[in-house]
Amino acid sequence: MLPRVRAAVAQLVSALGAPAPAGPGAERGSEPPPEPQPPRCRPPFLQLSPGELRRAGQRALRAVLSPRRRLPWSAGYAEVINAGKSQHNEDQACCEVVFVERRPSPRGQLASREGGREPGRGRKGFYFHYWALFDGHAGSGAAVMASKGLHLHICEQLRDLVDILQDPSPPPTCLPHNAGAGFVEPSRVSLAEDDEEVPNDAVPRFHLEKAVSHESLVIGAIENAFKHMDDQMEQERGSQHLSGGCCALAAIYLMGKFYVANAGDSRAIIIRNGEIIPMSREFTPETERQRLQFLAFLKPELLGKEFTHLEFPRRIQPKELGKKMLYRDHNMTGWAYKKIEEEDLKFPLIYGEGKKARVMATIGVTRGLGDHDLKVFSSNIHIKPFLSCFPEVRVYDLTQYEHCPDDVLVLGTDGLWDVTDDKEVAGVVMEVLMSYEPNDPCRYTMVARELVVRSRGTLKERGWRLANDKLGSGDDISVFVIPLGGPGNYT
Amino acid sequence: MLPRVRAAVAQLVSALGAPAPAGPGAERGSEPPPEPQPPRCRPPFLQLSPGELRRAGQRALRAVLSPRRRLPWSAGYAEVINAGKSQHNEDQACCEVVFVERRPSPRGQLASREGGREPGRGRKGFYFHYWALFDGHAGSGAAVMASKGLHLHICEQLRDLVDILQDPSPPPTCLPHNAGAGFVEPSRVSLAEDDEEVPNDAVPRFHLEKAVSHESLVIGAIENAFKHMDDQMEQERGSQHLSGGCCALAAIYLMGKFYVANAGDSRAIIIRNGEIIPMSREFTPETERQRLQFLAFLKPELLGKEFTHLEFPRRIQPKELGKKMLYRDHNMTGWAYKKIEEEDLKFPLIYGEGKKARVMATIGVTRGLGDHDLKVFSSNIHIKPFLSCFPEVRVYDLTQYEHCPDDVLVLGTDGLWDVTDDKEVAGVVMEVLMSYEPNDPCRYTMVARELVVRSRGTLKERGWRLANDKLGSGDDISVFVIPLGGPGNYT
- Per-residue pLDDT of A249-289, as tens digits, reads 999 999 999 999 999 999 999 999 999 999 999 999 999 99
| pLDDT score recorded for residue B121 | 54
Q: Measured between alpha carbons, how far is B465 from A93 in angstroms, rounded to an integer?
A: 59
pLDDT tens track for A373-398: 999 999 999 999 999 999 999 999 99
pLDDT tens track for B130-183: 999 999 999 999 999 999 999 999 999 999 999 999 999 999 999 986 654 444
Residue B432 has pLDDT above 60, yes or no: yes
| pLDDT score recorded for residue B239 | 87
- The amino acid present at A279, given as its one-letter code, is M
| pLDDT score recorded for residue B106 | 60
Quote the percentage of chain A above a pLDDT of 90: 71
Residue A37 has pLDDT above 90, yes or no: no
Contact criterion met (CB < 8 Å) for B323 and A177: yes
Give which of A210, A297, A302, A312 to mutate to test B binding, by max B Cβ within 10 Å: A210
Chain A interface includes B175 (CB < 8 A): yes
Contact criterion met (CB < 8 Å) for A336 and B223: yes
Contacts of B211 in chain A (CB under 8 A): 313
Contact criterion met (CB < 8 Å) for B328 and A220: yes
How confident is residue A167, by pLDDT bands cut at 50, 70 and 90? very high
Cβ-nearest to B326 among A173, A299, A353: A173
Q: Measured between alpha carbons, how far is B451 from B405 in angstroms, rounded to an integer?
A: 18
Nearest-CA distance B300 → chain A (Å): 12
Nearest-CA distance A345 → chain B (Å): 14
Alpha helices in B414-465 (DSSP H): 414-417, 422-434, 443-456
| pLDDT score recorded for residue A122 | 66
Q: Are the C-beta atoms of A140 and A242 separated by less than 8 Å?
A: no
Residue A224 has pLDDT above 50, yes or no: yes
Chain A interface includes B339 (CB < 8 A): no
Residue A489 has pLDDT above 80, yes or no: no
Alpha helices in A284-387 (DSSP H): 289-298
pLDDT tens track for B404-415: 999 999 999 999
Residue B184 has pLDDT above 70, yes or no: no
Burial (CB count within 10 angstroms: exposed 0-12, middle 13-18, buried 19+), residue B225: buried
Contacts of A184 in chain B (CB under 8 A): none
Q: Are the C-beta atoms of B379 and B360 separated by less than 8 Å?
A: no
Contact criterion met (CB < 8 Å) for A171 and B221: no
Nearest-CA distance A182 → chain B (Å): 7
Q: Measured between alpha carbons, how far is B455 from B466 in angstroms, rounded to an integer?
A: 7
| pLDDT score recorded for residue B302 | 98
What would the mean pLDDT of B60-69 be, rounded to a whole number? 93
Cβ-nearest to A334 among B217, B323, B351: B217
The residues in A 110-149 lying below 8 A from B, measured between CB atoms, are: none
Report the mean per-residue pLDDT for chain B.
85
Q: Measured between alpha carbons, how far is A444 from A449 in angstroms, rounded to an integer?
A: 9
Sheet strands (E) in B124-178: 125-137, 174-175
Contact criterion met (CB < 8 Å) for B216 and A334: yes
- The amino acid present at A465, given as its one-letter code, is R
Give which of B153, B210, B227 to mutate to test A binding, by max A Cβ within 10 Å: B210
Chain B interface includes A393 (CB < 8 A): yes
Which of A377, A442, A408, A443 is CA-nearest to residue A268? A408
Report the mean per-residue pLDDT for chain A.
85
Residue A180 has pLDDT above 50, yes or no: no
Of B291 and B3, the structure prediction assigns the larger pLDDT to B291
Output helix, strand, coil percentages for chain B, rounded to the nearest 5: 30, 20, 45
N-term to C-term CA, chain B: 29
Contacts of B208 in chain A (CB under 8 A): 314-315, 351-353, 356
Chain B interface includes A78 (CB < 8 A): no
| pLDDT score recorded for residue B207 | 61
How confident is residue B462, by pLDDT bands cut at 50, 70 and 90? confident
Range picked from A100-114, A470-484, B117-131, B180-194 for highest mean pLDDT: A470-484
Contacts of B215 in chain A (CB under 8 A): 334
Residue A201 has pLDDT above 50, yes or no: no
Residue B240 has pLDDT above 90, yes or no: no
Chain A interface includes B331 (CB < 8 A): yes
What would the mean pLDDT of A445-466 be, rounded to a whole number? 95
Burial (CB count within 10 angstroms: exposed 0-12, middle 13-18, buried 19+), residue A170: middle
Residue A309 has pLDDT above 90, yes or no: yes
Nearest-CA distance A67 → chain B (Å): 34
Contact criterion met (CB < 8 Å) for B331 and A182: no
Nearest-CA distance A384 → chain B (Å): 15
Considering the entire predicted model, what is its pTM?
A: 0.85
Q: Which residues pair with B394 in a beta bridge?
A: B260
Q: Among all residues of chain B, which has the CA nearest to that of A326? A: B173
Contacts of A210 in chain B (CB under 8 A): 313-314, 353
Residue B4 has pLDDT above 60, yes or no: no
What would the mean pLDDT of A312-334 be, rounded to a whole number? 95
How confident is residue A67, by pLDDT bands cut at 50, 70 and 90? very high
| pLDDT score recorded for residue B40 | 66
What would the mean pLDDT of A50-73 be, rounded to a whole number? 91
Contact criterion met (CB < 8 Å) for A210 and B313: yes
Cβ-nearest to B220 among A212, A295, A332: A332
Residue A48 has pLDDT above 90, yes or no: yes
Q: Are the C-beta atoms of A79 and A93 separated by less than 8 Å?
A: yes
How confident is residue A292, by pLDDT bands cut at 50, 70 and 90? very high
Contact criterion met (CB < 8 Å) for B324 and A157: no
pLDDT tens track for A396-452: 999 999 999 999 999 999 999 999 999 999 999 999 999 999 888 899 999 999 999
Q: Characterise B34 by phi-psi region: left (phi > 0), alpha (psi -120 to 50), beta (else).
A: beta
Cβ-nearest to B223 among A171, A198, A332: A332
Chain B interface includes A174 (CB < 8 A): yes
- Among A109-118, A344-353, B65-74, B366-375, which stretch is predicted with the lowest mean pLDDT? A109-118
Q: Measured between alpha carbons, how far is A315 from B167 in angstroms, rounded to an integer?
A: 24
Residue A69 has pLDDT above 60, yes or no: yes
